[in-house]
Amino acid sequence: MEDRSSEFHQRLGKLAELKSLGVEPYPNGFKPDHTCADVQKKFGEATKEALTATPERVSIAGRVMALRDFGKASFIHVQDRSGRLQAYVKKDVLSTDDFAVFGKCDVGDIIGICGPVFRTRTNELTVEAREFKLLCKGLNPLPEKWHGLKDVEARYRQRYLDLMVNPEVKDVFVKRADAVRFIRDFLVGRDYVEVETPMLHPVAGGAAAKPFTTHHNALDMELYMRIAPELYLKRLLVAGFERVFEINRNFRNEGTSTQHNPEFTMLEFYQAYATFEDLMDLTEEMISSLVFRVKGSMKMNYQGTPLDFTPPWTRISVKEAVLKFSNAGEDVFVDKDAALSFAKGLGLHVPEGLSHGKVIIEIFEKVAEPMFIQPTFVTHYPIEVSPLARKNAEDQSVVDRFELLVAGREIANAFSELNDPLDQKERFLKQIEEKAHGDLEAHPMDEDYVKALEYGMPPAAGEGIGIDRLVMLLTDSPSIRDVILFPLLRR
RNA sequence: GAGCCGCUAGCUCAGUCGGUAGAGCAUCUCACUUUUAAUGAGGUGGCCCCGGGUUCGAGUCCCGGGCGGCUCACCA
């Protein structure tokens, strides 16, 4: 407590004075009967005269966000979860004791007020304090009322302050909660069951990513924080759930950026007897109706770029996209060496050991991915980069998969699921080969998953949607940290 | 991992050519019983991110480090 602000010490002094007056500075039990918004809603239409003629008493509680002191009378702004409301504290209608307590109050304290609602000379709806109760003495001063808290580092490290004084920040997280609830209702309404699968995995599967490792002491067992729930959810298809989804955290031991946080929220859902084409239809419906719900329109702006989510959305294959947005020839898709030399011509760093499909994806990401601003389904990814997806019936070099791209970014990834246990085992073995060739993120073998498939998994399609990135779009947030309450920072 | 930018009072920010560290808000004292960033008068408040160097003298220049942001790379 040595190097605290002088105001901290001044407030400690007030705290001591309150205690010496016999006032408990942190009491419990005050019950507000209205929120600030309740009062606005209930009396917003009432005239000054009507309120004076039949005064109605309310009690509210919240944090003091502004205080204008006139000596024997003061105006304060009280902020609760619903918003702000003005209160008027007048010496001659309060008890001497209550007024003395008010005298020790500062901006940032949490208080409770009971009294009639009236309108001031300027017609502002206001609660006149007949009773005033201190509910929590704040010791640290709040950020400035006018400029708020701007310092980005402080906003992340002390998010509670950011949320307290910057209302638009709280709006983002309320919208996030709304979006998640909408998605949950959407899937539940289609007979999906919400489940929770392990976060601690003995094998880090279901995606190509570097996992966090951890250790279980009692079992003396190496474990991985999950990088994806996919393989567990598909075990549940084997089990007979047929329609399951999970909204939960994934962890990836990789760098951070405006689009990457080491822990992020993923929706994955799986539907038996559906194909990836069915999921394109479902995704169109889910996302467009979500956009409409949050934005009130199918059209919106993201960082100044107009986006239109009105279905149907463009569907284009990886191959078509590469041919369209570059001068690559067909040979790039037939001959690995042609692909390699074309990639090098683009200035891409492509080691010889890379698989043909991986080279094609490198090319696609360079030349085509940034071009897809409006919602677009990109389909038919190379089989080498999709070890869990079902092969396309006509072209065995690609799988029945799509990614949804919006604003040049991946929002969703889905495919018809591979349910042939022998094929799956071969794909895992191929991945292990690629790991030997230096692909650090090749998928590891999961014998237990193969065993589950051997019992029979119904034909199905599954999809993953990155909730954080989706919420970035919905809230026009430039950084993923803007949609994560407590983003990871160095100590 | 590389480049660029930032870090000064509780908050938001100035700080010239290297010459005694500033403003607004907040806070404290006084006045004020209908204000809206209330007003008026007067005060308090500093590890200028940290460490080294150059210099008579460093918030300022140089070197190293820390934390953060952006871009690129890596990565879905």
Residues A222, A81, single domain; the answer is: no
Are the C-beta atoms of A56 and A43 separated by less than 8 Å? yes
Euclidean distance between CA atoms A251 and A114, whole angstroms: 48
Residues A377, A309, single domain; the answer is: yes
Q: Is the CB of A365 under 7 A from strand B?
A: yes
pLDDT tops 50 at residue A2: no
Q: Is the CB of A156 under 7 A from strand B?
A: yes
pLDDT tops 60 at residue A180: yes
Euclidean distance between CA atoms A59 and A85, whole angstroms: 12
Average confidence (pLDDT) over A13-36: 95
pTM, rounded to two decimals = 0.94
Euclidean distance between CA atoms A2 and A271, whole angstroms: 60
Q: What is the 3-state secondary structure (H, E, C) of A25-53?
A: CCCCCCCCCCCHHHHHHHHCCCCHHHHHH
Residues A118, A214, single domain; the answer is: no
Phi-psi region of A163 (alpha: psi -120 to 50; beta: other; left: phi over 0): alpha
Residues A306, A433, single domain; the answer is: yes
On strand B, nucleotides with any atom < 7 Å from a protein CB are 1, 6, 9-13, 24-28, 31-39, 44-45, 47, 66-76
Share of chain A above pLDDT 90, in %: 91
Residues A70, A107, single domain; the answer is: yes
DSSP string, A360-377: HHHHHHHHTGGG--S-EE
Residues A43, A86, single domain; the answer is: yes
Structural domain count, chain A: 2
Residues A403, A285, single domain; the answer is: yes
pLDDT at A1: 39
- Interatomic CA–C1' length for residue A489 and nucleotide B54, angstroms: 36
CA distances from A228 to A66, A173, A282, A322 (A): 46, 24, 21, 28
Q: Cα Rg for chain A, rounded, in angstroms?
A: 29
**Helix (H) / strand (E) containing A151:** none
Residues A193, A258, single domain; the answer is: yes
Q: By three-state DSSP, how is residue A446 classified?
A: coil
Domain that holds residue A104: 4-136
- Interatomic CA–C1' length for residue A163 and nucleotide B50, angstroms: 30
Nucleotide B67's nearest residue (CA vs C1') is A490
Report the candidate in A133, A128, A66, A70 with the shortest Cα–Cα distance to residue A99: A133
Residue A184 falls inside a structural domain:
yes
pLDDT at A361: 94
Which residues lie below 8 Å from residue A117, measured CB to CB, with a gap of 6+? A39, A43, A46, A51, A55, A56, A57, A58, A125, A126, A127, A128
Which residues numbered 14-33 in chain A sit less than 7 A from strand B, measured from CB?
14
CA distances from A406 to A117, A308, A352 (A): 49, 10, 32
How does pLDDT run across A43-97, given as a tens digit for each residue? 999 999 999 999 999 999 999 999 999 999 999 999 999 999 999 999 999 999 9
Residue A35 falls inside a structural domain:
yes
CA distances from A131 to A23, A33, A94, A146 (A): 14, 14, 6, 29
Residues A107, A211, single domain; the answer is: no
CA distances from A254 to A1, A305, A472 (A): 37, 29, 20
Closest nucleotide C1' to the C-alpha of A208: B76
CATH at residue A52 = 2.40.50.140
Nucleotide B26's nearest residue (CA vs C1') is A144
pLDDT tops 60 at residue A228: yes
A364-385 burial code (b ≥16 CB/10 A, e <16): bebbbbeebbebbbbbbbbbbb
Which residues numbered 379-418 in chain A sit less than 7 A from strand B, measured from CB?
403, 410, 413
**Burial of A103: CB neighbours in 10 Å, binned 0-12, 13-18, 19+:** middle
Residues A301, A255, single domain; the answer is: yes
Are the C-beta atoms of A349 and A366 separated by less than 8 Å? no
Residue A155 falls inside a structural domain:
no
Which residues numbered 344-363 in chain A sit less than 7 A from strand B, measured from CB?
348-349, 361
Residue A156 falls inside a structural domain:
no
Are the C-beta atoms of A261 and A485 separated by less than 8 Å? no
Are the C-beta atoms of A169 and A35 separated by less than 8 Å? no
Which residues lie below 8 Å from residue A133, measured CB to CB, with a gap of 6+? A27, A30, A98, A101, A111, A112, A113
Nucleotide B13's nearest residue (CA vs C1') is A147
How does pLDDT run across A448-468, given as a tens digit for each residue? 999 999 999 999 999 999 999
Residue A285 falls inside a structural domain:
yes
Mean residue pLDDT of chain A comes to 94
Closest nucleotide C1' to the C-alpha of A250: B76
Per-residue tokens: A282 = 């479902």
- Interatomic CA–C1' length for residue A415 and nucleotide B54, angstroms: 65
More confident residue, A413 or A348: A413
- DSSP designation for A92: G
Residues A188, A298, single domain; the answer is: yes
Share of chain A above pLDDT 70, in %: 99
Residues A132, A211, single domain; the answer is: no
Residue A355 falls inside a structural domain:
no
- Interatomic CA–C1' length for residue A255 and nucleotide B65, angstroms: 22
pLDDT tops 70 at residue A20: yes
Beta bridge partners of A463: A269, A414
How does pLDDT run across A279-310, given as a tens digit for each residue? 999 999 999 999 999 999 999 999 999 999 99
Which residues lie below 8 Å from residue A113, measured CB to CB, with a gap of 6+? A59, A60, A61, A78, A87, A89, A127, A129, A131, A132, A133
Q: Is the CB of A478 under 7 A from strand B?
A: yes
Per-residue tokens: A400 = 């029945």
Residue A344 falls inside a structural domain:
no
Residue A363 falls inside a structural domain:
no
Are the C-beta atoms of A468 and A264 separated by less than 8 Å? yes
Q: Is the CB of A297 under 7 A from strand B?
A: no
Q: How confident is the model at residue A3 (pLDDT cuts 50, 70, 90)?
A: low
Question: Angle at the Cα of A18 (from A12 to A20), degrees rounded to 5?
Answer: 105
Q: Is the CB of A47 under 7 A from strand B?
A: no
Q: Is the CB of A92 under 7 A from strand B?
A: yes
Bridge pairing between strands A460-466 and A409-416: antiparallel
CATH at residue A413 = 3.30.930.10
How does pLDDT run across A381-432, given as a tens digit for each residue? 999 999 999 999 999 999 999 999 999 999 999 999 999 999 999 999 998 9
